Structure formats: C-alpha cells, structure tokens
Structure 1
Amino acid sequence: MTNSITFRVHALPAAALDTVRRTGRDAADQPVEALAAGGGEPLRCCLRDAEAGEALLLFGYPPPVAAGPYREIGPIFAHAAVCPGPEAPGGHPPAWRGRPQVLRAYDRQGRICGGRLHNGTDPEAVIAELFADPAVHQLHSRNVVYGCFMFAVERAAG
C-alpha cells in the first residue's frame, strides 16, 4: 500500500518520566515499583523489550488523550535511569516490528473512534488506513494480551 500520510511515533515523554523518577509517585499518586527485569518487559522510554536484569520502574501512566471518560491510567515499564530513547525516533519501533498489536483510534475530543488488530508485519499500512479517516486525530498502540498502552502515533505536521 502506498502511504501518503506521514506520522510520528511518540515514546513516553521524558518530562513525565523525569517526574516519576524524581518523586517516586505515579499519575495516581501511588508509589512507583522498582524491579529488576525478568526479560521481555516492553519499555515505553526506548520502545524495546527489557533484557533480564535491567533496572526498571513499573508505574501508572495516563496515555495522551483529551480529558474525558476515555482517559485512563494503566501500568507501564520504563528504565529506572535515563536511557538514550528509541532506536528510530519518530518511526515504528524496529524491535516491535512483527509483534501483534491493537491500534486504537481517538478523535480530537479523546473518544475512541475506531481501531484495528494487526499482526505487526506492516504497521505503517494499518496506521495509514486508520488515518485515512479524517475524524482520527491520534492512535494508541496497545498490547494484545494485556491491553496496556505501548506508544502514541500522531499525524506529522506538514
């Protein structure tokens, strides 16, 4: 599929992670859990899976949508210390290519307005299909089994 829609993938914002690291509290004002990775935990700071033994934080995070009934707080993993961030900033995470995901579509009011399950082999095509609907403002990639927020996708300006 030819894609004329440009988009940008967003990892966990550094400022949000800095606040969690500094305060030890999450978005629900609950204590952050520090743990050693068992291996395979999806890291939202650098958009890859953790390697066994890495120092992680587990905490509640509200994915970026407008305030309203669809806004939620869910569990995410991130490095306990500052990391270099995603390998391919702005693009689909290379380490998660081929991973089945749900792409949930949101409108400007933060309401769910569609979505798709995809097998991960051509996420750009699925992203383009969803963004073909002018009502779609933002997409969230979600873990298939647990439903956890993985990353946000927005139309690129231009």
Structure 2
Amino acid sequence: MFQIHPLPSEQFAHLATLTDSELAARNIQVHISDGGFPCRVSLEDAPAGARVFLLNFEHQPGNSPYRSRHAIFVQEGAEERHLPAGRLPASITSRLLSVRAFNSRDEIVEADVIEGVQAGDLITRYLEEPEVSYIHLHFARRGCFAARVTRT
C-alpha cells in the first residue's frame, strides 16, 4: 500500500502576504486559474478564478546527481489534503505522469511514463521492490514535480 503526500501548507502561507514586487523579486509569478492548475498542497486543480503562485521548488534535496528543483503551482490559501492510503487524486490520475522510484541514496532505480489512471498499479509494483525507498510523481508534459509517494 502507498501514501501520497501533499506539500505542507505552512511552507507557502506567507506568499499571500507578499507584495507584487516582493513576489517578482523572488521569481514567483501569480496566475488566475482556469481550472487546470494543479496545486501541490491541496492535491486538487485550483478552481477557475482562484489565485495561484508559480514558483521554483526543490522537490529532490537529496545529495545525489538527481538533486532537483522545478516549477510548481500552489493555490493561495490552500489547505493540505491527506488522502486515504492507496488513493490518488484526480489532479494526478488525469494527467500523463513520469513516475520515478528512488533508493535510500536518492538515486533513481526505476522510472516510467504512464497515464495517471495507471499510476496506482505502477506505484504498488515499484514499492514491492526492496531497493525502492520512495517515489516522485512528475507531470510528464512540463516536467513539474507533482507529489511524493511512500509505503504505508
């Protein structure tokens, strides 16, 4: 069984208090959602009209050649959504995904690109491998980090 993890809301709550010039100085863009901006905190697509922040985020801080950062969206005022074990949100299952399995040294040991509706089976299969410590999901088309997945 697996567990998907949202990013912590407190890590991004301060963004709503920043002025436009402060956001720009941090290379953070503000967009108005058209209903298709996947929030990494709520694990849902931000509803149309919602304010979202586009920012660079270090999703793979491990000390390996795979250390990485990329763009993510976070909806203003987003609250963490914790799903039951073994469940993936529609924001994940509705998109083409890059599924990357990492070992304890933060190195990729398995990877594939699949339709999100098939992700649960692939995640389960990867986590059955003893060498796999955790999984990162990325939205394959733009390469953005989507979520971290661990064993329950």
8 Å CA contact retained: 2:13, 2:76: no
- Give aligned-pair identity as a percent: 24
Residue by residue over 1:72-114, the C-alpha shift from the partner in whole angstroms, topping out at 9 and shown as x without a partner, is: 1100001122x33327355311343243211111111111111
Residue by residue over 1:98-143, the C-alpha shift from the partner in whole angstroms, topping out at 9 and shown as x without a partner, is: 4321111111111111112222223221111111221111111111
Structure 1 residue 49 and structure 2 residue 45: aligned?
A: yes
Structure 1 counterpart of 2:36: 40
Aligned positions, number: 148
- SS of 2:116's equivalent in the other structure is coil
8 Å CA contact retained: 1:66, 1:108: no
Distance change >3 Å, CA 16–CA 87, structure 1 → 2: closer
**TM-score for the superposition, normalised by structure 2:** 0.82
Candidates 113, 127, 134, aligned match of 1:131:
127
Structure 1: give runs of 5+ residues left out of the alignment: 1-5
The farther-off stretch of 124-133 and 64-73 is 64-73
Residue by residue over 1:40-78, the C-alpha shift from the partner in whole angstroms, topping out at 9 and shown as x without a partner, is: 111111112222211111111111452232111100001
Structure 1 residue 76 and structure 2 residue 72: aligned?
A: yes
Structure 2: give runs of 5+ residues left out of the alignment: none
- SS of 2:147's equivalent in the other structure is strand
For the aligned residue pairs, the C-alpha RMSD in angstroms reads 2.5
- SS of 2:117's equivalent in the other structure is coil
**TM-score for the superposition, normalised by structure 1:** 0.79
